[in-house]
Structure 1
């Protein structure tokens, strides 16, 4: 079964909106390698419509310009791109298509296809739905050491808690934390009585 990974730029206070306004000062070689490992190596990209529109409005021009980011832009262009949208879309970026039918059903079928892993970037509403459905295998959070103060957050509200397990962590020279999570099998429970035994002994 193919693995789905989602990568997000996020602030300390949980903001994921308009990262272009605050995250570029923290982009270094370490972050570039992390983004390429999660997104650039994917066999398929799964994107929400807004994220797709943003990508399609920038990366083809960057590929054509032939600058330092042209190889990565070409890599994205050559990759199969599946867009989550209820609208009929007219694509100008190659290798693009709309996902058909119910999201959970369609993504389940996509995971069962042959091919490399499925990468996501941004597309927060889709990330939430797939995490709720248990279809998201890894959540890659690049936590920036900044309090943005306003804007949409990764998790605004939820009817039920979603337990996660930390798979790996890395601290970049910029202070950014590269945290990789997977959904845990069950929600951990405990009370204060369970926790207090771990408090330091005041006599020591």
Structure 2
């Protein structure tokens, strides 16, 4: 079964909105290598419509311009791109299509197809749906040392907690921490009586 991984730039206060307004001062060579590595493992990208529109408005132009990022732009252009939207869409960016049918059924079928990993970049609404449905295999958070204090946060209000397990953590240049989480079967249960056993005596 194919793995679905989601990567997000996130501030200390959980904000994932408009990273172009606060993320770039923290970009570094090792962050670039981290982002590139996740793309190297994938041959398909899954998008929400707004994130797709942002990508489609920028990366084809950068590919055509032939600048330093043209190679990365070509990599994204050559990948299969699947967009989640409730309204019919038309595409001008190559290898783009719309997710058809029920979300859970369609994504489950996609995971069962042969191929490499399925990657998400941004697309917070899609990440939330995948987490709620138990379809996300890895959540990569690049935590930036800044509290943005306004904008959309990764986790919205909800009735049930979403338990996760920390798979790895890496400190990058400029104070960014790369955290990788995987789904956890259930949230651990304990109270103060259990916790106080770990206090200094």
TM-score tier after normalising by the smaller chain length: over 0.9
Distance 2:156 2:31 in 1: 26
Q: Which residue of 2 aligns with 1:95?
A: 95
Distance 1:67 1:40 in 2: 20
Q: Which residue of 2 aligns with 1:184?
A: 184
SS of residue in 1 equivalent to 2:174 = coil
Q: Which residue of 2 aligns with 1:39?
A: 39
Distance 2:85 2:158 in 1: 23
Q: Which residue of 2 aligns with 1:4?
A: 4
Structure 1 residue 39 displacement after superposition: 2.8
Q: TM-score, normalized by length of structure 1? A: 0.97
Distance 1:41 1:111 in 2: 14
SS of residue in 2 equivalent to 1:17 = coil
Q: Residues 109-139 of structure 1, C-alpha deviation per residue, up to 9 Å, x if partnerless?
A: 0000001110001111110011011100000
Structure 1 residue 93 displacement after superposition: 0.3
Q: Which residue of 2 aligns with 1:138?
A: 138
**Higher helix content, 1 or 2:** 2
Q: Which residue of 2 aligns with 1:27?
A: 27
Distance 1:107 1:173 in 2: 35
**Structure 1 unaligned blocks of 5 or more:** none
Q: Which residue of 1 aligns with 2:13?
A: 13
Structure 1 residue 9 displacement after superposition: 0.3
Displaced runs of 4+ in structure 1, greater than 2 A? none
Question: Cα RMSD over matched residues?
Answer: 0.7
Distance 1:11 1:48 in 2: 20
Q: Residues 15-49 of structure 1, C-alpha deviation per residue, up to 9 Å, x if partnerless?
A: 00000000000011111111111234311000000
Q: Residues 55-79 of structure 1, C-alpha deviation per residue, up to 9 Å, x if partnerless?
A: 0000000000000000000000000
**Structure 2 unaligned blocks of 5 or more:** none
Aligned pairs, number: 201
Q: TM-score, normalized by length of structure 2? A: 0.98
Q: Which residue of 2 aligns with 1:196?
A: 196
